[in-house]
Amino acid sequence: FRIGGPAAVMVSPRSPKQVAEVVRACGAAEAPMRVIGLGSDLLIADGGLACVVMRLAENLNAVRVEGNRVIAQAGATNLSVAGYEFAEGIPGTIGGAAIMNAGAYVGDFSTAAVSLKCVSPEDEIVEVTREQAQWGYRHSMMADAGYVVVEATLELSFDAQAEIQARMDDFHTRRVEKQPLEMPSAGSTFKRPEGYFAGKLIQDAGLRGYKVGGAQVSEKHTGFVVNAGGATAADVCQLIADVQAKVADQFGVTLEPEVKMWGF
C-alpha cells in the first residue's frame, strides 16, 4: 500500500544463525517481534509498530540448485522455474509464500515444497517436513506456532525453457488484464469464502469504486482495495470494515481479510 508508520526497531539478519540470535534476544528481553519479507501483503498502522521488526529479504536470499531441487533462503523472491510458474508476478518472498501457502490459478506453495528450515520460538533451528507444515488455504503450522522460515527446499519438474516461459507469460497476461497492478495494494484483500468469490460478492453489493479517504475498492477488480492516492492506513482499515459489514448484511457471508493488519 506504500503507507503506514515506522518500526521501533528494524533488524536484517544475514544468516539462519543470526535469525536465531534475534529470536533469542527478543525472548530474553520479552520484546515483541514481527517478521516481514517484502511486506507486500501487509497493512501497517499509521502510528507504526512498537516492536522489533525482523526483515528477511535481500540479506538472506541465496538460492542454489541440486538436481531437480532448489534450496532457497527465505528472502529470495519467487522463482521462475517449472512447477512454480503460478507464482509469476506474486510480489513476495519464499519465506512469506511458505508461511501463508501462497498460490494462484493452478498451484500453491505446498505442491512444490519438500521441507523447510525454520527457527522455533525457542530459538532452535529445526527442519519441518511437508507433512509437519500442515499447509492449507492461506494457512500453515508455522504461522500458528510462531516459526520463522529461513530456508525452503522445493522439488521441481524439468521442462523446456520455452514451455516454462509460455505458462508464466499466460499468468502474467491474466494478472495485467484483470488486476489493478498500476496502483498500490496488498494483492487480494480477502480470502476466498467457501462457495463464493470475494470479488463478486463485493461487486454485487454495489461497492465497485467505493472510497474511504484515499482508499478505494478497485474499479478494475473488486477483490482488491487500492491506495488511489493519499490514503492512510486508517482509511484502508475502515474501508475493509465497511465492505465486510455490507457483504455480511446483504449476503450473510463473512469476509476474512487476507491482508495482514498490524498495529491497529
Where helices occur in the chain by DSSP H, the ranges are: 16-29, 94-100, 109-112, 130-133, 141-145, 161-178, 198-204, 233-251
Distance CA 98, CA 89 (A): 16
Active site residue 182: no
Place of cell 514481527: 34
The catalytic residue among 55, 88, 138, 140 is: 138
One-letter amino acid identity for 98? A
The catalytic residue among 115, 140, 188, 218 is: 188
Distance CA 228, CA 163 (A): 37
Cell numbers for 215, please give them: 482508499
Q: Output the CA angle 139-187-42, nearest 5 degrees.
A: 70
Active site residue 138: yes
Q: State the greatest distance between any 2 C-alpha atoms of the chain, in Å, as a whole number.
A: 53
Place of cell 462457495: 195
- 129-158: buried (b, 16+ CB within 10 Å) or exposed (e) per residue? ebeebbbeebebbbbeeebbbbbbbbebee
Distance CA 182, CA 148 (A): 31
Cell numbers for 262, please give them: 498490524
What single-letter DSSP state applies at residue 193? -
Distance CA 198, CA 196 (A): 6
Active site residue 208: no
Please list the active-site residues.
Answer: 138, 188, 258
